[in-house]
Amino acid sequence: TTTAAAAAATTTTTNPFTLILSPAPTLTMDEEGPLNLHDMATDSVCDWCQLECDCTAQELNALTCTFVECPMEASVYHQDCLERFLKGIKLEKNRKTGFRCPRGCSKASKYDKPCPGKVDKSHPIHVRNDASKKRRKAAAAPAPTTVVPKFGPAAKVGRCSLTPGLHS
């Protein structure tokens, strides 16, 4: 029994080589439901240039970093700013993951030191025009139609009302 207890004790020890990664970005709820990437990016500021991100006019990119303490408010960047960062560290501009986190790496950044993490997920946010989307949805809505039953006395009345000159 002592060997079984010793074996159980050795299997419950933690592995020192286990990687601890940050969880995927959790989007919070507002009064209309869960926030999507466009909603999250609407009020954010690009950490590279310190300009406001506008998803109706600019291509944006939301990055997920492996560093647990990397704040979510610094995760949205303009696509142009991200390409300049990648060019500066001599990587191709269409790179999506595997590079160091750009938070704190520019002169305009509000963070005093660079993030030690790496980008493990990249979420592109494409330009979206909400006004035209609402207009297209309204135009695509079908006109209400009357339902005419196929069988029975109600069907005969329905056919008669739809076909002029046919009476029962």
Type of residue numbered 96? K
Looking at residue 142, what is its pLDDT? 65
Mean pLDDT of 101-120: 89
How much is the pTM?
A: 0.57
What's residue 157's pLDDT?
72
The amino acid present at 137, given as its one-letter code, is: K
- Look at residue 51 and tell me whether its pLDDT is greater than 80: yes
What would the pLDDT profile of 112-156 be if each residue is shown by its tens digit? 889 999 999 888 888 877 666 677 777 776 666 666 677 777 777
Distance between CA 70 and CA 117 in Å, rounded?
Answer: 8
Q: State the Cα–Cα distance between residues 161 and 166, nearest whole angstrom.
A: 8
pLDDT on residue 132: 67
Looking at residue 93, its pLDDT comes to 85
pLDDT of amino acid 13: 45
The tens digit of pLDDT for each residue in 69-84 reads 888 777 889 999 999 9
Q: What sign does the dihedral 140-146-148-149 (CA atoms) show?
A: positive
